[in-house]
């Protein structure tokens, strides 16, 4: 009996030393693909709703499309929103945000190697303290490749070679159940491009700036209805749902397809704020006068009128 016990103990120790990856719950698989010299992380964003003290497991998938074996590392960072239309999200590195989640994101493994065409699915656990406040928490799981090591680790370029480290983040947006502060409004609604008295052709689209004054992220969505001078709806553009982080402004562009337009138009924005079925509205009025088309038409009409005037003032029509 003792012999069997010792054999089991030795097998466990030996197995944990020789094949440690089998102790984890991640899964690897091989897929056929063409080299793309990059790697793919899915999903790019995960929204979670939990109660204080809860925990949940979400899967992250990484696929290596680089034509060689690559070592990857996982780390976590907080991120915040901004008021910059070109940079809606900023990663904070080692710093913590007021809505910090980085220490609560725990991947199953932190280092692994993938061959070309290999895909790995890694469980990621998010554990929430029992005393967590009812608000938003935001963090990112950062996946970075570990390039071939060079002789001089302190230099980015050695003997004509450059170390390039790619970083891709998978965002986690967590909301704790409870009475969080949900408050948002339209900060601005305008046409894309420079403001003009009138447009020579149909504008290319619209820009929405939505401000979040609360402490949880919001997901606004809605429609833009465009009406002509006669009050008829000529187009309805969907505003797909998008997230806006607390204490930030998120900009969204809505494209308007090409087409012929002339006259006065009104664009009516109706936006669901993302909570309590509350809506907010705004509108803009603009003129489209395609003078490059209209001037030749008016010139032609004027020439016809002048020709008729000249004809009837110079010639007299008589009945036979």
151 and 130 in a common domain: yes
- Asked whether 147 and 164 are in contact (CB, 8 A), the reply is yes
Residue 125 token pair: 């656990």
Asked whether residue 158 is domain-assigned, the answer is yes
Residues 227 and 105: their CA atoms lie apart, in Å, by 48
Asked whether residue 308 is domain-assigned, the answer is no
Determine the pLDDT at residue 258.
Answer: 81
Tens digit of each residue's pLDDT, the chain (320 residues) = 445 444 444 444 444 444 444 455 778 898 888 998 899 999 999 999 999 999 999 999 999 999 999 999 999 999 999 999 989 999 999 999 999 999 999 999 999 999 999 999 999 999 999 999 999 999 999 999 976 654 444 444 444 455 567 899 999 999 999 888 999 999 999 999 888 888 888 899 999 999 999 999 999 999 999 999 999 999 999 999 999 999 999 999 999 988 788 889 999 999 999 998 999 999 999 999 875 655 565 556 766 666 566 656 766 655 55
- In 3D space, the residue among 268, 263, 191 whose CA is nearest the CA of residue 224 turns out to be 268
- In 3D space, the residue among 24, 135, 12, 141 whose CA is nearest the CA of residue 72 turns out to be 141
The kind and range of the H/E element at 301 are helix 291-314
The domain boundary, picked from 176, 194, 210, lies at 176
29 and 165 in a common domain: yes
pTM of the model: 0.77
Q: Which residues pair with 200 in a beta bridge?
A: none
117 and 198 in a common domain: no
Cis amide linkage into residue 229, ω under 30° from 0? no
31 and 85 in a common domain: yes
- Asked whether 63 and 53 are in contact (CB, 8 A), the reply is no
- Provide the domain count of the chain: 2
Determine the pLDDT at residue 261.
Answer: 84
Q: Is 101 helix (H, G, I), strand (E, B) or coil?
A: coil
Determine the pLDDT at residue 196.
Answer: 83
62 and 160 in a common domain: yes
3-state secondary structure 221-283: EEEEEEECCCCCEEEEEEECCCCECCCEEEEEEEECCCCCCCEEEEEEEEEECCCCCCEEEEE
Which positions ≥6 away from 176 have C-beta within 8 Å? 50, 51, 52, 128, 132, 133, 134, 135, 136, 137
Asked whether residue 301 is domain-assigned, the answer is no
214 and 141 in a common domain: no
264 and 205 in a common domain: yes
- CB atoms under 10 Å from CB of 74, counted, come to 20
172 and 135 in a common domain: yes
Asked whether residue 4 is domain-assigned, the answer is no
221 and 167 in a common domain: no
Within the chain, strands assigned E span 27-30, 39-42, 45-50, 55-64, 70-81, 89-91, 105-107, 111-114, 118-127, 136-146, 157-158, 161-162, 167-176, 184-191, 205-212, 221-227, 233-239, 248-255, 263-272, 279-288
Q: C-alpha dihedral over 272, 274, 277, 282, to 10 degrees?
A: -20
The kind and range of the H/E element at 128 are none
Residues 255 and 237: their CA atoms lie apart, in Å, by 8
Q: Which residues pair with 161 in a beta bridge?
A: 158
Q: Quote the DSSP letter at residue 311.
A: H
217 and 161 in a common domain: no
CATH number, domain of 104, equals: 2.60.40.10
Classify residue 3 as exposed, middle or buried by CB count within 10 Å of its CB (0-12, 13-18, 19+).
Answer: exposed
CATH number, domain of 271, equals: 2.60.40.3880
Asked whether residue 53 is domain-assigned, the answer is yes
The domain boundary, picked from 159, 176, 193, lies at 176
Q: Which domain holds residue 217?
A: 184-293
Asked whether residue 59 is domain-assigned, the answer is yes
138 and 253 in a common domain: no
133 and 54 in a common domain: yes
- Asked whether 280 and 268 are in contact (CB, 8 A), the reply is no
Asked whether residue 319 is domain-assigned, the answer is no
Residues 147 and 169: their CA atoms lie apart, in Å, by 18
Asked whether residue 70 is domain-assigned, the answer is yes
């Amino acid at each position: 009996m003792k012999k069997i016990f010792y054999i089991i103990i030795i097998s466990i120790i030996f197995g944990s030393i020789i094949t440690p990856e089998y102790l984890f719950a991640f899964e690897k698989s091989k897929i056929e693909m063409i080299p793309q010299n990059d790697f793919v992380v899915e999903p790019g964003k995960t929204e979670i709703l939990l109660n204080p003290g809860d925990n949940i497991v979400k899967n992250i998938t990484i696929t290596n499309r680089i034509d060689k074996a690559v070592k990857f590392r996982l780390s976590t960072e907080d991120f915040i929103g901004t008021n910059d239309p070109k940079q809606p999200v900023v990663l904070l590195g080692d710093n913590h945000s007021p809505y910090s989640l980085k220490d609560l994101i725990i991947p199953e493994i932190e280092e692994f190697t993938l061959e070309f065409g290999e895909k790995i699915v890694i469980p990621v656990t998010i554990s929430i303290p029992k005393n967590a406040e009812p608000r938003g928490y935001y963090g990112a799981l950062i996946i970075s490749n570990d390039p071939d090591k060079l002789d001089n680790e302190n230099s980015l370029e050695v003997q004509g070679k450059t170390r390039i480290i790619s970083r891709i983040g998978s965002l986690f947006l967590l909301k704790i159940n409870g009475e969080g502060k949900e408050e948002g409004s339209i900060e601005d609604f305008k046409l894309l491009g420079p403001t003009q008295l009138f447009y020579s052709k149909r504008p290319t689209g619209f820009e929405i700036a939505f401000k979040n004054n609360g402490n949880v992220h919001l997901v606004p969505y809605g429609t833009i209805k465009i009406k002509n001078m006669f009050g008829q709806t000529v187009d309805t553009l969907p505003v797909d749902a998008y997230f806006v982080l607390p204490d930030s402004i998120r900009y969204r562009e809505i494209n308007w397809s090409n087409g012929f337009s002339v006259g006065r138009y009104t664009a009516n924005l109706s936006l669901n704020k993302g909570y309590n079925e509350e809506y907010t509205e705004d509108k803009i009025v603009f003129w489209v006068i395609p003078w490059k088309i209209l001037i030749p038409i008016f010139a032609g009409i004027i020439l016809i009128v002048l020709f008729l005037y000249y004809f009837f003032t110079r010639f007299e029509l008589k009945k036979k």
